[in-house]
Chains A and B, each alone.
Chain A
C-alpha cells in the first residue's frame, strides 16, 4: 500500500520541495518521509476535524448553557488510543531503522572510491584517489563511495540534500560517510553545523561523473609537469582556503577581492598606502597582520607557502586584471 502513497507524495512534493534523488538511499528515505507524512496528516486532520466539529456542535448558546451528561473516563477508550499510537510509532521506528541500517551497509557495485575530506573555515577540501585534490567533490555515478572526514578547527557538517545525507566532521577524530551516487550531474554541498562568520557560504559541489572514464580524465587534468605558474597559483587559491574570504568578482568579503588587485595602490588601516606587488603579496601571506587594508579586520591567518607557490600566487593575481 505504501507504493502508491509515496508516488503521489513524490509528485506533489517534487514540484518544489523534495530535492532530486541523487543517491541510492534517497528513495528509501523519501519513502519513510512519505509514510510519516501521511500518518501525521491523517492524525492532524483527525485532531482538527474533531476540534472544529465539537466546537461547532457543542458551542455554548442560549439553548445550551449546560453540558450533556457524559462519563469523564472510559478505560477501554484510553487503552485503544494508547495502544494504536504506540503500535504506529513502533512501526515507524522499525521501518525507519531498517532503512537507516541499510544506509550504512556496504553498497554493491565494485570497490569503493575512498576520498579524504578536510573541513575547515570556510571551505571544503577533497583528496581523491591518485592525489588529485579539489574544492569540489568528484564522484562516479553507480560507484560506491566512502568519505573519510576530519576537521582542522571546529565541528562542521557535510550535507548533501540531494543525497539525503549528512555527517559531522569533528576535530580530533575521523568520521565516515558511505553511499552510492546514482545520477550524473552537479549537486549542492553545504555546511550544516554552525562554524562562524561564513558558515552560510561554506558551499561546494558534488560533481558526479557519468562513468569512471570521465572521472579519470578529470583526475589527469592539471597534473602535467608543464603546469604554468599561474595554474599553481590558482590551485593554491582553492587548496589553502583563500577562496573563503577573497572573491574573484570584485565583491569585498571578509578580505579584499583579488579582481584587479595586482598593481593597485592599496590604502591601509594606518593611513599609509602601498602598491600591490610581489613583496606586498609575500608579506601579506606570511605576516598578514603587518599591513592591514583599511576597512577590513585583522583576521587572516598566516599561510606557509614555499617560494614556488608564492611565485605562482603572484603570477596568477596578475591574470585577474581587466585589460593588459
Chain B
C-alpha cells in the first residue's frame, strides 16, 4: 500500500478523544478543547430549544389580534427571555464556543488551545450564567425586553429578577472574553512552521477578528451590568432620572457592546461559509486576502456605529449623522465577501451536500438581511421603521437566517470529524429546505407588518396586521420542524451513521489529516503548515476511505 502523506492511520479502538477517560468527571473537568467544544455544543443546543419554545408560544399568542393565549405580562416576559436566552446563550457563544473550540487547534496542527484551563473556566462560567438565566425565569422572569432599558427595567416594582439577569450577563460576558482571549493568543503564537498569516484557513481569520471584538466590547457590557445592578440596589443615580441619572446613557453603554456583539455573531458564520464554499466547489476560495481583511475591517468599523440604535432616542442630529455614515461604511466589507464567495462558485465542481445547501441558503438570506440593514442605517427611513417589526425581521434574518444557517452548515461539515460518524444526507438536505422555507414564511411577513406600521414587542395588535402575523406563525412551526429534523438526523447518526473517514469531503486544512474522531492529543508530531485551499492531488478513494492525497502533492 502506498504511503500517503497527510493521511492519518485509523486509531485503534479506545484511542479517540471520546474514549480517553470515562465518567462524568473526565468530561466536566477536562482540559481537552474537543470535549469542551462538545459540552458547549450540548449546552447551546439546549439554549436554542428553550429560546425556540418561547418563540413558538409568542407566535401562537400573535395568532389573534387581541392575543389571549397568555396574559400581556406573561407575553412580555416570554419575549424578553426569548431574546436574552437566544442572544447570550445561543448566538453569541454559538459558533466560536461549540465549533471553534473543537476545530481551531486542529486547524493549527496544535495539541490544544494556548490556555486549556482558561477554556474550562470559560465553559463553567457559561454554565453558571445559564443557571442564572434559568433562575431569572423561575423566579418570575423579567419583562423589559432583552435590551433592559431603564427606567423600566430598574424600577422597584419590577422585582429582583433583574438582579439575576444582570448577574447572568456579567458572568456569560466574562466567559466570552476568556474565549476570545484564548483564541487570539493561540492563533497569534501557535501557528506551525510553514503557516504564515495568509496561510491560515479563513475560519481562523474570522475567529481572530471575533476575538478582538470579544475582548474589547464585552467588558463594557460587564461594567454596564454592574452599574445597573448597583443602581437597582443602591440607587447610585447613574441611569434612573429620579435619582439624578440619565437613562439614555445606559443606551450608549449597552449598544457600545451590543452592536459589535452582532459581529461576534456573524463573523464566525462567514468564516464557515468561506470554508464550505471552497471545499464543496473544489476550488480555492476567491480573493483570500480581501476576505481576511474584510473580517478585520468589519470588526474595527463595527465599534463606531452603535448610535444607529438610538436615532430617535433624543440623540443629536449630528451624532446621528456620523453614526449613519459609519453604518453605511461597515456594509461594504460584507458586500466584498459576498462577491468573493460567488466568484468561488464560478467554474467550480459544486457538490450539493448538506453543508453546501445551507451555505447557498445563507447567500440568499444574508443578502436580504444585510440589504435591509440599509433601510435602518438611513436616517430618513429609520425614523419610521425603528422599533417596528421591520427591525425584528431584519435582525432575525441576520441572526437566525444567516448565523443559524451557517452554524448548521458548519455543524454538518465538522460532524464526521467530531463524532466519527457520517450524518444522513437525506435528513440533512430535507432539514435545510424546511429551514429555508420556514424561515422565509416566518420573517418576510414581518417586514411587511413593520412597513405598515406594526411596532415591536406588542402582545396585541390592530386587526389590519392579522394576515401577516398568521403567516408568520405558520412559518415558525415549519422552521421549528426543520430544526427538529436536523437535530434528529444528527442524533440518529450517532448510533446508525456510517463510520467517517479522516477526510470525507476532500478538504485541505489540517484538521482533516487527523482520524475521525481525533486522538486525545490531536497530533503525534506538529505537522508542517500547508495551503488550506490547495486541493491538488486529493482523490476520492472510496466512501469508506474518503479522500486521500497522493504522496508529494499539494504540500504548500
Residues of A within 8 A of B (CB): 13, 16-19, 25, 28-29, 32-33, 36-37, 39-40, 43-44, 47-48, 50-51, 54-55, 58-60, 64-70, 72-74, 77-78, 81-82, 85-86, 89-90, 92-93, 96-97, 99-101, 103-104, 153-155, 157, 159, 161-162, 164-168, 170-173, 175, 188, 190-201
Residues of chain B contacted by A28 (CB below 8 angstroms): 380
Contact A55 B350 (CB under 8 A): yes
Rounded to whole angstroms, the CA-CA distance of A51 and B363 in the bound complex is 8
* A-contact bits for B329-355, CB 8 A (1 contact / 0 none): 101100110111011111111111000
Closest chain-B Cβ to A265's Cβ sits at a distance in Å of: 26
Give the contact-size bracket for chain B.
Answer: 35 or more
Contact among B149, B241, B331, B339 for A172, CB-based, below 8 A:
B241
What are 12 of the A-B contact pairs (CB < 8 Å)?
A17-B452, A29-B384, A47-B367, A67-B349, A73-B286, A82-B290, A82-B332, A85-B331, A93-B377, A191-B455, A194-B76, A195-B152
- Given the interface pairs A54-B346, A92-B378, the reply to whether A166 lies near B371 with Cβ below 8 Å is no
Residue B125 at the A interface, CB < 8 A? no
Contact B151 A17 (CB under 8 A): no
Contact among B345, B364, B461 for A58, CB-based, below 8 A:
B345
Contact A73 B371 (CB under 8 A): no
Residues of chain B contacted by A25 (CB below 8 angstroms): 380
Residues of chain B contacted by A196 (CB below 8 angstroms): 76, 143, 152
Closest chain-B Cβ to A172's Cβ sits at a distance in Å of: 3
Contact among B241, B351, B384 for A171, CB-based, below 8 A:
B241
Residues of chain A contacted by B461 (CB below 8 angstroms): 200
Q: Which residues between 495 and 545 of chain B lie within 8 Å of chain A, taking CB atoms?
A: 533
Contact among A60, A157, A166, A188 for B351, CB-based, below 8 A:
A60
Contact among A47, A172, A201 for B364, CB-based, below 8 A:
A47
Contact among B241, B246, B386 for A166, CB-based, below 8 A:
B386
Closest chain-B Cβ to A150's Cβ sits at a distance in Å of: 11
Residues of chain B contacted by A40 (CB below 8 angstroms): 371-372, 374-375
Rounded to whole angstroms, the CA-CA distance of A77 and B459 in the bound complex is 49
Residue B448 at the A interface, CB < 8 A? yes
Q: Which residues between 92 and 132 of chain B lie within 8 Å of chain A, taking CB atoms?
A: none
Contact B149 A89 (CB under 8 A): no
Rounded to whole angstroms, the CA-CA distance of A47 and B362 in the bound complex is 11
Contact B452 A81 (CB under 8 A): no
**Which residue of A has the minimal Cβ distance to B364?**
A48
Contact A67 B283 (CB under 8 A): yes
Rounded to whole angstroms, the CA-CA distance of A194 and B151 in the bound complex is 11
- Given the interface pairs A36-B374, A72-B283, A92-B378, the reply to whether A168 lies near B314 with Cβ below 8 Å is yes
Rounded to whole angstroms, the CA-CA distance of A66 and B282 in the bound complex is 7
Residues of chain A contacted by B442 (CB below 8 angstroms): none
Contact A78 B372 (CB under 8 A): no
**Which residue of B has the minimal Cβ distance to A101?**
B317
* A-contact bits for B49-73, CB 8 A (1 contact / 0 none): 0000000000000000000000011
Contact A70 B283 (CB under 8 A): yes
Rounded to whole angstroms, the CA-CA distance of A103 and B312 in the bound complex is 13
User: Which one of A48, A74, A81 has the greatest number of beta carbons of chain B within 10 Å?
Assistant: A81
Residues of chain A contacted by B474 (CB below 8 angstroms): none
Rounded to whole angstroms, the CA-CA distance of A195 and B76 in the bound complex is 10
